[in-house]
Every structure is written in C-alpha cells, then in structure tokens.
Amino acid sequence: MRAYGTPAEPILFQRANAVQSWYDLHSDRDEGGRMRHVIVDGSSDGVNGGAWRLENCTFRNNGIGTSGNAIVTGSQYLGNGTGNSAAGNLSSPTNPNSFVGNTVGVNSADNAANIWWGSPTGPTTSRNPGGRGDSLLSQLTPFTPFLTAAPSYADTPPEVKLLRPSFQMDPGSKVTLRWTSTDDVGIVSHTILFSPVGNVSSSFQTVATLPATQQTYEWTVPAIGFQVAGQNAFIKVVAKDTTGKQVSMSGKSSSRLTTLPARCNLP
C-alpha cells in the first residue's frame, strides 16, 4: 500500500460510523507499505503488520496507533489508547515523533529515543524518576535521549521520489538514476545509498553525495554476488534540507540471486 498526501491536503482514514471504530490498515508483506502525510483516526488497531514506513503522519483517537515492524518519523500520536503497541523504530533525531495525551504512550518498541513525550521531564516510567510525559511500559525499550521541548511540525522534511530507470540491469552496466525532490525551505544535498542485502539501515553504503541542483546520476551496477539469504538489494536517494531534516525514497534493485554474475532488477 502506498498513500502520499501533502502537508496542505493530508489523506484521512476515519470512521464511516461515528459510534463504531473501523479495524486497521494491515500489511502481511515483509516490505509493508508506505504512508506520508496521512491521518489515521478512530480505528481499533491502527497501522500494523509488515515493515511500514510512516512519515509525517498523525495517529489520533485509535485503540492502537501503530504496531509491528514500522519505521516512524515526524509523526504525532494524539489521544490514542496505546500510541505504539509493539516493535518498530520510533527514533528519528532529524524528524522526531511526539506522543501526547495517550493513555499509554509506548507499550514497547525497538527504539523510542529522540521523542517528545508531552513533557520536558520525559516519559513516565520507573526508569525515568520524575518523568511526567506519556507512559513507556517496557523495561527494555531505549528512550534516551528524549526531547525537552515540543518539535515544530510547521517545517516539513523534503519530498523525494526515485523514478524507475529500468526493470533489469547486468553487473557492470550503467544506468541513469533520476529523481525529483522538493522542500518548503530549500534542499542542500542529495545522497545516493546502496544496500546489497535488504532494506536495512546498517547495510547501506554511500555511492555519492551530490549538490541540491543535481537530480540525475549515472550509476554502475555492482556485482553483488551470491546471496545466501535471498535478500533483495535496494538503492536509496536521501534529500536533506537547510534545517537538517531529511527523507529518503528507496527502490528494490535486485531479485533473489543465486548465481554469479548476478543481475540487478530495478523498480
């Protein structure tokens, strides 16, 4: 699933019946879905399932806002029963999330650092004496550092879209990557990253860092070799603005590979 709104016109998922919650937005696929500038309101289970990428969204008045293997940035959790129920990466230093007025802020997560908890004292948890913000129930979820002032959501991160260059390319061949990017205050740079083994942050390597005005790049397709785990490779373009906020758009760049030399399938 892909749902891309804008700051001025966000996409709204809400109740059809004012007295009955709707269920959820669910993905069973490992790759999950991606939503940007979306409001999820009045559901019972919010967004859950696969590896969602959720950017600049608002989760409000839900039984559960998010749950599962999601990466969440620049989003607000407001008045939910539980903001984030389980798993997921909620830490985004350059585009932070906020939890305000939820019965439970975070039940558990893989990482809950760099969050505004609705109070400069941080989350309410036994691991943070004196914390008066939304609650964090897990005794294992990292939550430091936390924000001591509410972030501004008036300045939104850049918008970047990687255009599909080709379906399949051989190692050593050249392909021209093209993308578009916009921002409300101005973009300062683009960075191209490549991962031979899945859409995992730690596996990406920098291919090139480019000026804001450049939106094409001739890339030599690498020979990524035998992939035991059968992971797809990914190419990613990151746009950074003058305030330090950044966003990326990635594309699957290889199918499951079992032979050498290997081909790369580009989205």
Query: pLDDT tens, position by position, for the chain (267 residues)?
Result: 889 999 899 999 999 998 899 999 998 766 678 899 999 999 999 999 878 999 999 999 999 999 988 999 999 999 999 999 999 999 999 899 999 999 999 999 999 999 999 999 999 999 999 999 999 999 999 999 999 999 999 888 888 888 876 556 678 888 899 999 998 889 999 999 988 877 777 788 999 999 999 999 999 988 877 766 666 778 889 999 998 888 776 655 433 222 233 444 444
Which whole-number Å values give the CA distances from 238 to 15, 89, 178, 180, 202, in the listed order?
35, 18, 13, 11, 15
CB-side exposure of 41: number of CA atoms within 13 Å?
13
The whole-number pLDDT of residue 256 equals 29
Contact between 58 and 36 under an 8 Å Cβ cutoff? The reply is no
Nearest to 193 by CA among 180, 169, 210: 210
How far is Cα 60 from Cα 65, in angstroms, rounded to an integer? Answer: 7
Token pair 């860092």 is at which residue?
Answer: 209
Sequence letter at residue 93? P
State how beta strands 98-100 and 76-78 pair: parallel
Give CA torsion, residues 192, 196, 198, 199, to 10 deg.
-10
Q: Which residue has the tokens 């990428």?
A: 53
Give the position of tokens 């969440």.
72
Phi and psi angles of residue 38, each rounded to the nearest 5 degrees, phi first: -125, 140
Rounded to the nearest 5 percent, the helix, strand and coil shares of the chain are 0, 40, 55
Q: Is the pTM of this model over 0.75?
A: yes
What does the chain come to in residues? 267
Q: Say if residues 264 and 169 touch (Cβ distance below 8 Å).
A: yes
